[in-house]
Amino acid sequence: MRRVSRGVPIAVLGLTMALGFPTPSHSQTSSQDEDAIRQVISGMDKAWNQGDVKALTQYFTREAEVIDVLGGIHGGRNAIERQNALLLGDMMNGSNLTQDVRRITFLEVNVALVDTDAHLYGYQSLPKAFSGAGNVITVRVRHAMVNANGKWRIVASQFTYVASPQ
């Protein structure tokens, strides 16, 4: 199996832009790709809501990296799985997650940025730095995704907490 560096899509995009070649527009990508990406997001929500950490982490590449709401970095699918197991086994046990896709931006045919608004409710507790309006916390999420072998997977995610109005 040939391994491709994670930096290759970004390098290709940079070279394409530097040389003045047009990058693929949203209209050049298929609605099937958008549907597949939305299914990944929906599958993540379902896995979280069922407390199924294995199913949740299947949506990440082996080398994926997640930056959590506290700024912690979790590199690799195993680390992401461990972190989610801790959360779902403790303060987030029994919680429900919904991610509303705000935007899908295709940087290349097989590279997309996916912005979501994630809403988490029904949690056991929160760190003191967080406040939930009506027991719901909102997090802005940016997923960088790649399509390899016909499957969209996450290579990087960053979660940013949205403070509730006081």
Q: Which two tokens stand for residue 80?
A: 């992401």
pLDDT(134) > 80: no
What spatial distance separates the first Cα and last Cα of the chain, rounded to whole Å? Answer: 53
Cα 35 to chain centroid, rounded? 15
Provide the pLDDT for residue 26: 46
pLDDT of residue 18: 47
Q: Which two tokens stand for residue 131?
A: 């406040």
Q: Average pLDDT for residues 75-91, to the nearest whole number?
A: 93
The pLDDT, as a whole number, for residue 28 is 53
Which of these ranges, 63-72, 126-135, 138-147, has the smallest mean pLDDT?
126-135
Instruction: Return the ∠ at Cα 15 (arms to 10 and 18), rounded to 5°.
Output: 125
* Beta carbons of 59 and 147 less than 8 angstroms apart: no
Lowest mean pLDDT among 1-10, 52-61, 80-89, 128-137: 1-10
Residue ranges and CATH numbers for the domains of the chain are: 29-162 (3.10.450.50)
The model's pTM is 0.79
